[in-house]
Chains A and B, each alone.
Chain A
Amino acid sequence: MIEVGLNHFLVVSTLLFAMGIYAIVTRKNAIMVLMGVELILNSANINFIAFTRFGNFGLQGHLIALFVIVLAAAEAAIALAIVLNIYKTLSTVNIDEVDSLKD
């Protein structure tokens, strides 16, 4: 049996991070992009928890993870509201087509 160590956690979180980036960059649907953002946030959470578990940081990591979860909830609410408004005005959630600031 391999002992599960810090590196394992970091690998998982890195993978999660990369998947999040990939989702943000490639997906056309705004909802999908948001899900990518969530992935990135959670990869950061895993890192925090892992460092707390293996490092000597007391409860700081847990606390920050809790903050991030709260923050993610708020962010999701705002972002979804924005998406809803975009849909209302432009009748699409395809972020490729949302480029009126260009001109």
Chain B
Amino acid sequence: MAIDVVDDRFDATGHEPVISARDVRVWYGTTRGAIRAVDGVSFDLAPGETLGLVGESGCGKSTLGRGLMGLLPEGAKRDGQVLFRGQDIFRLSPKASYRLRGSELGMIFQEPLTRLNPLMRISQHFEETIKEHEPRLTKDEIRERALEVLRLMGIPPTRYRSYPHEFSGGMRQRLMIALALVLRPAFVVADEPTTALDVLVEAQIVQILNDLRRNFQTSLLLITHNVGIVAEACDRVAVMYAGRIVEQGKVAEVFKNPQHPYTRELLRSTISLHTTGLNYIPGAPPDLVDPPDGCRFHPRCPAAMDVCATKNPVNIERAGGGRVECWLAGPEDQIPEGGKRPLKQEELTVADEA
């Protein structure tokens, strides 16, 4: 099977993708060497589509989100190609990239209180945001626009001139989402937008995110560690492990019929109302300065074969749609002779446990 990186095979809907990421890499320099937090990630996002990016802490999902936005800390480097409406946003000048953020690319953070200015009224937040990108609008037009998006987020117009501290946690997250959406960006990254919230409020926010595509035609990259949220709010899911997307596809397809053992084990270890026994993944995610050879999951994988420890798995089309990289899924013809013998794994001690 020929592996061609730049084609439209990641696009599930057939539309022209809004975002098309190819071989994205992000690394942080440390004294021990480079931490390869994101190591060759490719995906497409169609207009109005929500892609869930799920994985454990340290798998690189937040780094990927910030990398796409160009919001990486100093000392981090990024590489690869991210096409947004035909231009590679990784190659833009800082000024052009600044103009794109807010108006075309939006970001929703985890902790809303740290992102709102406590000394500014909500009205001032909106005035500042809108004026920066559309300086010709009058104050009344700004108010109208802001009230419209606040209304869709369930914040009554009577609260327009309140301060951030006068709102509850869930309301603040709605404000953040409203601020991110008021300029109608085509693409939004939401980094754990519900993690700090309570169950009922979380469900409210998930419904708001669910309605996004209807109201705004926004494409959303929803970063979360909660597979339940993915099932609830996303069209497609990308499962990330140790800096790579190991499986992606339609949520129903991937969750019902996981082909990568990591996806399967992650779902099995999730405690839901139907849980009858406790399952967990032995061991801990690898050190990304020096990740294991072959498949990065092989030291923890219950189905690991000899080939997994030596040869990188190939990113192939998933039976049932999507992509997967795991030798169990193939391609058969690239597995060396005898490579399918079960791998003798070293006994994992608690010393290696997470």
Q: Do A and B bind each other?
A: no
